[in-house]
Amino acid sequence: MAKVDLSQKRKGALIVLVAVLVAGGLLANALYEDMAGLVDWHKEFIGEVTCGQLVGNRAYIGGSVNGGILACLNSSSGTIYWRRDLNERIDFLQVRGKVLLVTSKERASLWTVEGSMRWDVTIPHTENFHAAFLDDIDEDGLAEVVIVAGGEMKVLSGKTGDIMWRRTDIDFLASAIQSHGHVVVISGTTDKGQIALSVLDPVERKVKLVDTSVAPLCSSSSPLLEVSVLTWACLDASEHVLLRLSLNNANKDEPYLKIDNVPLEQHFPHSTTVHLTREGILQAPGTSKMIVTSKSGLLELITVDDRRVIPFATASGPVVLASAENDHIVLSIKHRNEPLQDKELTTSFHQSVNPKLAIVNSIPSDQVPIALVIMDDMVINGINHRGSVMWSREEALAEVDDIEFVELPAKGLEETLSPATSSNLPAKFFSRLISDVKHLFFELSQSASAVSDWLHDVSSLNNNHTTKELEKDIFGFNQLAVIATKSMKVYALRVAGAGQVEWSVHISPELPTVSEVPVAQNIFTLRSTAHKNPVSALVTVFSATSTVALFNPITGQILEVSHYDFPAAQVSMLPEVDHMDMHTLVLLERTGPLSATAHFYPGSTLPLKTQREVHLWLVDPAKSLIVGFATTTPQSEFKSVCVCKWNVQLPEGEKIVSVAAHDRREVVNARAKVLGDRSIMIKYINWNAIAIATTMDSTPAKSGTSSQKPFSSVQLYVFDTLTGATIAQVVHKRATVPVHIAMVEHLVVYTFTGGQLQSKLASLELYEDSKDWSPGELDSTKKVGDGLQVLSQVWNFATNIKDMTFSITAHGITPHYLITVLDHQVYVLDPRFFDARRPTPVNNAPAVLTREEREEGLIPYQSSIPVLAVSFASYSLSLHGVSQVESASTHLESTSHILAFGSARGGGDMFYTRISPSGAYDMLSSDFNKPLICLSLAVCLVATVAVWYLDKKRSHR
């Protein structure tokens, strides 16, 4: 037997020990405690502007967030002073002194300019609803309010909102209300087109009808516009004569109407049809005119040429025009004063967006904007008197369709990467070899740089790890959130900073003329930033067409836009990549109830070349139908006919209300759950499983002579999309919508509303027989319905849950916490609370935990899940309209990104934070002593060398 050289063994062991010590000292990185769980940023939004008024340094805006929101902005900076939820669209607002009148379809309310509500009244629903301020007729210090709704007029006290005077004899269709002192003038037309004016005196409680029989009939397509004080304009029935009407002696007993007729033949050809817009613009094909009035009562017509009129509040206010000039939009503001001011204020915007609404300042100055201009991509711009943009607000971020987190490339790494440009195997091999060699040298240089930075960190004791450059950081915090919005504008927000916009691009100009709102939008990462030239795809589905736009997620550059003449019923991404290192999108075209065609994009034929079946599934809520498809013989290079493999038709009356599937970013660390007694339970993990929630109205059978009331029920199905088999089914009686579902690994968590409108949270866990399990197997697809164990529990929850998702980590080791969106808050729920294995009471006695159950961390079952103050990720912040949440992993297993936002259906704020709910197993304290650990490692190293030297010296003796 060969003799072992002990000195060689000792030398090898020494080398290994030294390498471990050096690696532990130089390469170990961890998060500091003071970097975990911090609220990074909160963006407040207004949403789509419905109306507004700009008064000096304050702007009062009605927005679309959360159904309807009233906001006050600092017009000098664009920041929000205050916001108030009204939960319905604001149609009109007017400021007078220190109060603000706000109206919607069924409500009128008076607010102070500081955001306090004085009173609120309900108005019967009608399309014909107008409101205005009056003078202070009861001398209480506040202006009164007059409201006309349908055929009823009310004068309300400005102090209390009480009705001071009511009339129900308004027998014409009102189009406007004017107040002249303490007199109210209601203008409109009768059902026959006759102009009607009613003068009301709330002080003397008198009504004076004005004789309008001498006026010609008003055109049915032309509104009666208020163009100045007690002056109106409209087109007559022939639509070739402009009528100017002025009311005289309004404050006297016998007011009378003066009518001037302005023939339009000299301005428009007689054969053309002239229209009068609500902004006071006379328009005809090929030309347009602008109405301008002066104090003397003269009506003038100014040619607008090819400039487009931007909507504004009334026909008596300033006129804002837009025209195209050198690939930019030029804005011009004209004031209708006496004499008419021809001087124009001009500013420029890129022509890819168009001005949509203008709000002109009623008290302009050099320090505040002269106007707010709202673009069609929902950007609010404050324009100063020099025409410069003082500030901008990106309100499109209030209405989000989809979000995709994108990792940034490492600094300098993109130069070492070379994407495969050929399917030739030798060429691809050598290209990859060269790229790997470059990558090796790059990593060596980065390691040297890291050591240098580490030594500087030790010497300066600097624990600030905030990355300022747009590059990949060691913890994976510095990522981009690529966001698709309802306005078809795509943003990239840097989540590690203050949520600043790195780039934005308006996709709509790249498309054919599209006026409708997208039905759905989804973002996919086709080629990650691990490769050179990363590619993302935005798939936009309209009612009759679909569009795929490829772009670079780091720069925002549009690479390609493709159009399809069908609405994609389902869009998915294949897991494998082609020779260009790109994933393939599959757009499913519905050609019949049980037939479809799969379109592959961007033209990869990988599934067709390998003859692999691509399995797709489709849920049709309108028909309560679930269908499974598989691709067959390809029709062409880019599409394949699908054959129906299975279908499930739900019973009549059962409606699909929610669908959930596994997240494609989900990582499974272990298939087995180790229990306290050291036994194991095998998780049933099926990547093809989907969860579907349905509702059905039921009428129970009669009991004796009396019958119970009908009730609704909620059913939860878990289907296998390969075979159509039902994996699990749970029924909850006397339950209803809303229903939200989240899936991860073997777990399905869902919410619904139970009896007495109590919010419920339910958990469904799937396990399989451990006898049929083999280590290393991570998929349960082949075991559908074979001895599955289904565990389920239901709890009460204190408040309504709007949306939820599971936290995602890099390796799936950390337990999956449930991230929920509550009213104005984001809440993180510990998985122990929704564990379906929680011990239940026996014979109404509280459950007693065994030693093994306590060791496992189980909690005895209780009917309600407590809401703990320390579990609010948003702390004390109030998040208006937030209704959805997304999670993404970082490079630290303990930490996840959380981004909550408003949906495209209602709009809301945006809130980002990082959470580390499982504790500090990979964190360092903020006062961690690096010099001491370095000294300890140095002592160990010196001691090791000394021991080795002494041992070697003794062996020589």
Q: How far apart are alpha carbons 372 and 369 in whole angstroms? A: 7
114: left (phi over 0), alpha (psi -120 to 50) or beta: alpha
How far apart are the C-alpha atoms of 598 and 639, rounded to whole Å? Answer: 5
Q: What is the DSSP string of 315-380?
A: TTS-EEEEEEETTEEEEEEE---SSPP---EEEEEETTS-EEEEEEBSS--TTS-SEEEEETTSEE
Beta partners for residue 884, in sequence order: 901
The tens digit of pLDDT for each residue in 578-630 reads: 878 889 999 999 999 899 999 998 865 555 555 578 899 999 999 999 999 99
pTM of the model: 0.85
pLDDT given for residue 254 in this prediction: 78
What is the pLDDT, as a whole number, of residue 9?
55
Highest mean pLDDT among 299-303, 747-751, 810-814: 747-751
For residue 318, give the amino acid letter: P
pLDDT band at residue 464 under the 50/70/90 scheme: very low
List 485's β-bridge partners, or say none. Answer: 400
Query: Cα separation of 321 and 342, whole Å?
Result: 13
Read off the pLDDT of residues 7-36 as tens digits, 9 standing for 90 and up: 555 565 556 555 555 544 444 444 444 444
Token pair recorded at residue 200: 């009301």
Tell me the residue length of the chain: 957
User: Tens digit of pLDDT for each residue in 688-698?
Assistant: 999 999 999 87
Residue 811 burial by CB count (10 A; 0-12/13-18/19+): exposed, middle or buried? exposed
Helix H, strand E, coil C: the string for 647-715 is EEECCCCCEEEEEEECCCCCCCCCCEEECCCCCEEEECCCCCEEEEEEEEEECCCCECCECCCCEEEEE
Does pLDDT of 703 surpass 90? no
DSSP string, 194-213: -EEEEEEETTTTEEEE---T
pLDDT of residue 4: 45
pLDDT of residue 467: 45
- Look at strands 864-865 and 789-797 and give their pairing: parallel
Axis crossing angle, helix 930-956 with helix 425-460, rounded to the nearest 10? 100
Structure tokens of 554? 């780091």
Query: How large a percentage of the chain has pLDDT more than 70?
Result: 79
Q: b/e map of 919-938 (b: 16 or more CB within 10 Å)?
A: eeebbbeeeeeeeeeeeeee
d(CA 350, CA 6): 78
For residue 802, give the amino acid letter: K
Of 58, 180, 33, residue with least CA distance to 111: 58
| 808 against 363, higher pLDDT | 808
Please determine, for residue 240, whether its predicted confidence score (pLDDT) is greater than 90.
no
How does 256-295 read in b/e, with b if 16+ C-beta sit within 10 Å? ebeeeebebeeebeeeeebbbbebbbbbbeebbbbbbbee
Burial profile 169-179: b = 16 or more Cβ within 10 angstroms, e = fewer: ebebebbbbbb
**Residues 6+ positions from 452 with CB-CB distance below 8 Å:** none
Q: What is the mean pLDDT of residues 695-710?
A: 63
Query: Average pLDDT of the chain?
Result: 81
Do 158 and 136 contact (CB within 8 A), yes or no?
yes
* Span of 300-314, 664-678, 790-804 with lowest mean pLDDT: 300-314
Query: 3-state SS string over 307-325?
Result: CEEECCCCCCCCEEEEEEE
Instruction: Report the C-alpha gap between 227 and 314 in whole angstroms.
Output: 8
pLDDT on residue 58:
94
Indicate whether 513 pLDDT > 70.
no
- 884: exposed, middle or buried (Cβ count in 10 Å: 0-12, 13-18, 19+): buried
pLDDT digits (tens, 9 = 90+) for 59-114: 999 998 888 999 999 999 999 999 999 988 998 899 998 999 999 888 899 999 99
Q: Strands, E, within 721-860: which ranges?
A: 726-733, 736-744, 747-753, 759-768, 789-797, 803-806, 818-822, 825-829
- CA dihedral sign, ordered 841, 847, 849, 850: negative
Q: pLDDT at residue 116 above 90?
A: yes
Confidence of residue 738 (pLDDT cuts 50, 70, 90): very high
Q: Does residue 251 register a pLDDT over 80?
A: no
Type of residue at 735: A
Specify the DSSP class assigned to residue 218. Answer: B
The C-alpha angle with vertex 71 and arms to 69 and 77, in degrees rounded to 5, equals 140
Report the distance separating Cα 303 and Cα 288, nearest Å.
7
- 736 forms beta bridges with 753
